Amino acid sequence: MAGTTALDSYQHLLETSRRVNWRLEDLVGEGRQLDFTRPFLPEIFAQTEPLGFLDEAEKLKLNQIRARGYLALFELVESFVVPFICDQADGGGDVDPFRAQALRHFADEEEKHRRLFGAVLRDFDARFGTDCGLIGPAEDIRRMILGHGPLAVTIAILGLEWMSQGHYLGSIKDNQDLDPQFKSLLKHHWIEEVQHARLDGLVLKSLAEHSSAEDIATATREYFEIGAFLDGGFKQQAQLDLESLERATGRTLAEDERRQFLEVQHQALRWTFLGSAMQNPNFLAALDDISEETAARVEQAAMSFILN
């Protein structure tokens, strides 16, 4: 099963995490700045090409706005992953002697990722020239997501973690057009996320073992609630990205261009953060391990987020 292998043990994953761990100061600072003459985000996520009314310079601006949102939304996601994983580390630690340590290390790395993304966002904002909006307040989003049961939150986090790996390996690693600094950030993020996805898979497995079929059905419903809530956020984000682009280019789009922009960009955000997670084979395999029906429903739902 792709979701769990013989190498998935808290001890092994903790040892691997410690071996591949990097320092924040090696990735940001002097001589490691974003190159604003290059795109940052792969076109599969940015979806600037369908917007034929934008010229090449405007498409590049939009790509960078979407890349900023990509990092900012990851930072936001990780802000609820940290307290959630800390809670998990504090519970059930007697089952496996390495569980609590491994999960605390996981949370520490996510906290470091938040600092990394924060530093890059500050560099971006200082040099992009105009402001870019982000949905929020982050606290309300965090509270809404963490208001669901631990099984549903674990499923949501696991989807996002396998998704980020799918993004790096499938669309970023071999893409020669992207800014090398942005790629380096996502590469280093990926190096540590590999262990996070597998650790979260272990958390899911143990939670599911203590859950009834009804609990799993409830968690599945809650997972879709979280997805629908995020989808509403992505609709707002597309509107904010439109405003950011108009500010950055000094151009006001015509009514039909705005409509097209919102349609394409909302779907692009849905694919980036929902669809590409819900059709990720590793995520689906982990879900299939706890409930075939849940896996089938998630895979089916992913279809509605596919790009036209």
Confirm or reject binding of residue 196 to Fe ion (CB under 5 A). Answer: yes
CB of 153 to Fe ion, least distance (A): 13
CB of 116 to Fe ion, least distance (A): 9
For residue 82 the two structure tokens come to: 């940290």
Closer Cβ to Fe ion, 193 or 222, answer by number: 193
**Residue 35 CB contacts under 8 Å (≥ 6 apart), including other chains:** 179, 180, 181
The size of the interface with Fe ion (CB under 5 A), counted in residues, is: 5
CB of 108 to Fe ion, least distance (A): 11
For residue 18 the two structure tokens come to: 């410690």
CB of 39 to Fe ion, least distance (A): 22
Q: Which stretch binds Fe ion (CB under 5 A): 10-18, 111-119, 142-150, 300-308?
A: 111-119
Contact 215, 151 (CB under 8 A): yes
Confirm or reject binding of residue 112 to Fe ion (CB under 5 A). Answer: no
* Three-state DSSP state, 151: helix
In this chain, which residue has its C-beta nearest to Fe ion? 113
CA distances from 66 to 60, 62, 75, 76, 260 (A): 10, 6, 14, 15, 16
Contact 164, 283 (CB under 8 A): no
Closer Cβ to Fe ion, 182 or 261, answer by number: 182
Confirm or reject binding of residue 188 to Fe ion (CB under 5 A). Answer: no
Closer Cβ to Fe ion, 85 or 302, answer by number: 85
**Residue 255 CB contacts under 8 Å (≥ 6 apart), including other chains:** none
Confirm or reject binding of residue 114 to Fe ion (CB under 5 A). Answer: no
CB of 211 to Fe ion, least distance (A): 23
CB of 248 to Fe ion, least distance (A): 27
- The CA distance from 279 to 154, in Å, is 17
> Among residues 53, 271, 239, which one has the least CA distance to residue 167?
271
Confirm or reject binding of residue 167 to Fe ion (CB under 5 A). Answer: no
Confirm or reject binding of residue 68 to Fe ion (CB under 5 A). Answer: no
Interface contacts to Fe ion, rule CB under 5 A: 110, 113, 161, 193, 196
